[in-house]
Structure 1
Amino acid sequence: MADDPERQTDVQEEQKVPLGKPPTNNDNETAPSFESPFDLPNWRKWINTVLLASMTMAVTFGSSVWSSTITVTSKQFDVSETVSILGVSLYVLGFALGPIVWGPMSEFKGRRLPLFSGFFVWLLLQIPIGVVNNLPALLVCRLLGGCFGAAPVGLVSAMYADFWEPAERGIATAIYSAAVYIGPTLGPVFGSLVTENPSLGWHWTAWLTLIIGGVVGVLAFVFVPETYGPVLKLRAETKARNLTRTPSQRSYGKQTPTFRDFVGKYMVKPLLMLCYEPMLMVMTLYVAIVYGILYLTFFAFPYSFTEGRGWDPRVGSLPFLSILVSVLAGSVGVAVYSKKYYQPRLVARGSVLPEDRLPLVMLGSVMLPAGLFWFGWCSSSHISPVPQIIAGLFIGCGIMLIFTNCVAYIVDIYLQSAASALAANTFVRSAVAAGFPLAAPRMYRVLGIAWATSVLGFLCILLIPAPILFYKYGRKLRQMSRYAPTPA
């Protein structure tokens, strides 16, 4: 089981880098051996990394693919576009609610149980979305889909900390972050192609999501093992005791936590961390705004190119590809940074310094508002669309750099408590992202494309000092933390 909050510092002190491997047993008893996830061959780790990221991509693809159906469904069900946008917002709201259970459960029962149970229920929920013609029922299914699909969204990045060393974990987190953004970026593109096809229609957005999720889910279920060290160690101890004792003597040694323990200790933990950890609080706010901006672009991009420039809806969704290109470029940049800057400093120091993740956050904090202002003020139909599409590269790259490295920063700080920290992070960022699309239609129609996008740019400017201050004072804040390991 995960350690009590009061003992967290002691446990994680032993998990200082380079590896963050499970602590060894120094008692007089011989510790039962178990296969540490850190000892898996690299090829197996990379397969796990890609499959876990692909699960996240499938779920986030399902979040945005509905945006391509907004016009069609609002007409079919005779509702406003704002009501139809609820299909996106409720799904993302599910991302906020689900981690309250999935994150703590992963520290209680291990990673595989919550990961795959949530994912496969999410798959089943695509079936009613593909056949039902009742809007309230569709919206309920979308909300539940987000709740169960939140399992990989909230757990995958924490799972990387179970088997990757810090330098490689940065690369793995970049792959995860790319998946988080590739999914919702491709959703509107493929969704428009399906929705505008008379022989398919908007119901096929759910069937397409089911096909993608089914393929990656089955492969991941076959290849991805349990990765949470404390649970693996407890299982090994139990197995060793049971092999050496008679049936009447067999016991778990340690009392199995009850459901009351789970609620009182594990489910409350993310809330306590969010209240008492200023680093988690501020970084969560930053990521929430960035994540909300991503989901707002699902409306802003098509609106700008179809309403502002008069493009066909299928063509108007293609500028999303500029965000996709920039996300991939940002992922490569994070990988190079991890290898060329982060890893050498890690080896020279001999321990993790989470603040080494923050220079890329600083870079992203400048690129994102620059891209937003650029996009907004090049939106006029009298200006070529090329500059506006190029602005999408800055927006996507800025979002990618901030999100990836903030998540990696949180994981580096909290280690075995990372799942709870990320559960709190996912809850807040998803709640914000659920609200942004609802505000988008009125915001863009009242303020216009230029000023509506500029409001987001000014909001991002206010947050530029955050990574700079944490880079300077992060070590002192970690010394005051009750969940973070003692700084080196």
Structure 2
Amino acid sequence: MLEPVEAEFAKPPIYNDAQEEVFQSEETEEPNAITHAANNLTRVETREGRQASPTHSQSSTLQNNRVAAKLDDPEKGGYQKTADGKILVTFDVGEDPKEWTKFHKLATITASTLCLTVALGSAMPTGDLPGAAEGLHVSDEVIYLTITLFVAGFGIGPLFFAPLSELYGRQPVYMVSIIFYFFFTLPSCLAKNVATTLAGRMIAGIASSAPFTNVGGTIADVWAVQDRGIPMAIYSSTLFMGPCLGPLFGGWISLKTGTWRWIYWVLFITIGASCILCLFNPETLAPVLLRKKAKKLNKQHNTDAYTTEADLHRPSFRTAITTALIRPFVMMVEPIIILFTFYLSFVYALLYATFFAFPIAFEEIRGWNMGMTGVSFVSIIASFFILLRTEADSLPQIGIFLANVLIMPLQERLYRKYTAKHGSSPEGRLYTMMIGAIVLPPALFILAFTSYPGVSWVGPCICGIMFGFAMVSIYISGNSYIVDSYSNVAASAISSKNMIRSFVGASVPLWITQLFHNLGFQYAGLFLALVSVILMPIPFFFFWKGAWVRSKSDKANR
């Protein structure tokens, strides 16, 4: 194979046989023959399935000719003309987000850090809820509303943020969301009464909810279906890592500073850092990028002829909002959404249940302080590194020794094998969910029957590792399956799931302590374990019958 420098002077040009055939078939009498040939050549696939491209100097010349052709004759240059004379702008090579370099695509994963910041906000105050109740002179049940209202906001905000992101792009919505989250966390830092705290928490919860819906859309914007596993694993893990880090950070912050208010101040500073990071997150939504390109071309050529196909059929703002408010409720009757939402909501509720179950198991039963109780959540966090290691062997080797003990099939490798045999199908994403469904019930049984005063703390911590592993594996697969099954309406599908999940999670602080105190820790844990057993068949059913279920839906991918 010729080296790049030699290729510059190679004669004839180094095209493969298929490219040469296309090149020779062009009519050289046409002024734009080279442009036509270049356009066709870039579409010829190599044996590896990737598009072949000319050498650097040839590419530069052909690109200049292509641009000139598009300006003189849009149809010959690659753009299409509508009946009313409008020119439909399309992506040139490399402009489509799905054609970005791997490094550029990985930059979009920074959006997942916004999810981590939001998830921290939902859990850090649990580090010292009794202290906040005492400081604001209210009961424990009232102070629990600071968690309930914040999490409930996760279900309301996406109804508005999802359509706004489709109209104006991902980046502006991220920015507005995180800024409002930043400012409405401040009342909790300074509040003199509980009403101010609750109002600030509710608005902050609504404002901060955009990343939970839009990050899934961002991943779908830039990653091909077969490559979404790693980004979805990182995204889903942040949803759980934040809530587990929250009690750890919150407990020690309150213990070392002597006041619960510093929990909110540290959160306030963290959100501010996320605002700065958000500035560097690129726009990924294709229609918005094309709209910007059309606007630039119109300005350059002093015309309004350039437009996009999406803008030709662009709904009004009112129609878009109305559709976005209605579609998530329409999606709720989809069998996939119903069953997966029920399962994922249960898993999400279990996560918030641990915020109150672990303090009972370690503080009330074993007499630990709030800081050490927060450390117990490390057992859950450790499982995330197991999952990230096993999701793709290209990720850093964090926790690899644990992965070798609790190894599970490599999700991405199994998915590729599945698609090689059956074609691209969402069902290939369900391997880890099936494993998680099997691991979850034993984890809950262990938690229930090792929480006695005379039993070592090791038992609940082993449960934490198993529970975290099962929880994240279920959620990663579940999220991936929903996005792949409803890629055309992924934002609405995720919004529908998030709304129900958030309301279920928000309700947990209002009843979970009563459940454990009234039934007893062991019987309450047994009840949750039995529910997980009932839900266990869901991923197995969809693995075998998912294609049939999707074939009956007019919204799911066939």
Of 129, 134, 140, the match for 2:193 = 134
Look up the match of 2:269.
Answer: 211
Within a 5 Å distance, the mapping from 1:182-193 to structure 2 comes to 182-193=241-252
Q: Deviations over 1:33-61 (max 9, x none)?
A: 43211122111211221x11111101100
AA paired with 1:173?
M
Of 7, 27, 37, the match for 2:97 = 37
Of 381, 394, 399, the match for 1:324 = 381
Look up the match of 2:355.
Answer: 298
1:342 paired with 2:418, answer: no
Look up the match of 1:460.
Answer: 532
Within a 5 Å distance, the mapping from 1:149-164 to structure 2 comes to 149-164=208-223
1:46 paired with 2:106, answer: yes
Task: Check 1:161–1:246 CA distance in 2 against 1; reply closer, same or farther (3 A cut).
Answer: closer
AA paired with 2:259?
G
Look up the match of 1:483.
Answer: 555
Q: Deviations over 1:61-97 (max 9, x none)?
A: 0100111121112222332212111111111101111
Within a 5 Å distance, the mapping from 1:248-267 to structure 2 comes to 254=312, 256-267=314-325
- Select the structure that is richer in helix: 1
Normalising by structure 2, we get a TM-score of 0.78
Look up the match of 1:106.
Answer: 165
Work out the CA distance in 2 between the residues paired with 1:274 and 1:235: 34
1:374 paired with 2:446, answer: yes
SS in 2 for 1:196: helix
1:273 paired with 2:331, answer: yes
AA paired with 2:415?
Y
| Greater RCO, 1 or 2 (C-alpha within 8 Å, sep 6+) | 1
Say if 1:478 and 1:485, in contact at 8 Å, map to a contact too. Answer: yes
Structure 1 residue 220: Cα displacement: 2.5
Larger of the two Rg values belongs to structure: 2
Structure 1 residue 335: Cα displacement: 2.7
AA paired with 1:274?
M
1:437 paired with 2:509, answer: yes
Structure 1 residue 155: Cα displacement: 1.3
Identity among equivalent positions (%) equals: 29
AA paired with 2:462?
I
AA paired with 1:175?
I
Structure 1 residue 459: Cα displacement: 1.1
Structure 1 residue 407: Cα displacement: 0.2
Look up the match of 1:92.
Answer: 151
Deviates more, 1:27-36 or 1:142-151: 27-36
AA paired with 1:287?
L
Structure 1 residue 343: Cα displacement: 2.2
Work out the CA distance in 2 between the residues paired with 1:109 and 1:334: 33
AA paired with 1:41?
T
Structure 1 residue 237: Cα displacement: 4.1
Work out the CA distance in 2 between the residues paired with 1:106 and 1:346: 31
Q: Which runs of 5+ in 1 are unaligned?
A: 1-17, 20-24
Look up the match of 1:282.
Answer: 339
Structure 1 residue 201: Cα displacement: 1.6
1:414 paired with 2:414, answer: no
Q: Deviations over 1:15-50 (max 9, x none)?
A: xxx99xxxxx9956775243211122111211221x
Say if 1:242 and 1:250, in contact at 8 Å, map to a contact too. Answer: no
Within a 5 Å distance, the mapping from 1:349-428 to structure 2 comes to 349=422, 351-428=423-500
Say if 1:175 and 1:331, in contact at 8 Å, map to a contact too. Answer: yes
Work out the CA distance in 2 between the residues paired with 1:109 and 1:347: 37
Work out the CA distance in 1 between the residues paired with 2:411 and 2:104: 20
Structure 1 residue 476: Cα displacement: 1.2
AA paired with 2:167?
F
Task: Check 1:457–1:244 CA distance in 2 against 1; reply closer, same or farther (3 A cut).
Answer: same
Task: Check 1:201–1:164 CA distance in 2 against 1; reply closer, same or farther (3 A cut).
Answer: same
Q: Deviations over 1:235-288 (max 9, x none)?
A: 4345445655546x788862653232123323211111112x110121111111
SS in 2 for 1:483: coil
Task: Check 1:437–1:407 CA distance in 2 against 1; reply closer, same or farther (3 A cut).
Answer: same
Say if 1:108 and 1:266, in contact at 8 Å, map to a contact too. Answer: no
SS in 1 for 2:283: coil
SS in 2 for 1:154: helix
Work out the CA distance in 1 between the residues paired with 2:102 and 2:303: 39
Say if 1:110 and 1:228, in contact at 8 Å, map to a contact too. Answer: yes
Normalising by structure 1, we get a TM-score of 0.89
Say if 1:122 and 1:146, in contact at 8 Å, map to a contact too. Answer: yes
AA paired with 1:309?
R
Work out the CA distance in 1 between the residues paired with 2:209 and 2:278: 16
Structure 1 residue 389: Cα displacement: 0.9
Say if 2:411 and 2:432, in contact at 8 Å, map to a contact too. Answer: no
Q: Which runs of 5+ in 2 are unaligned?
A: 1-48, 51-77, 394-409
Task: Check 1:157–1:312 CA distance in 2 against 1; reply closer, same or farther (3 A cut).
Answer: same
Task: Check 1:242–1:144 CA distance in 2 against 1; reply closer, same or farther (3 A cut).
Answer: same
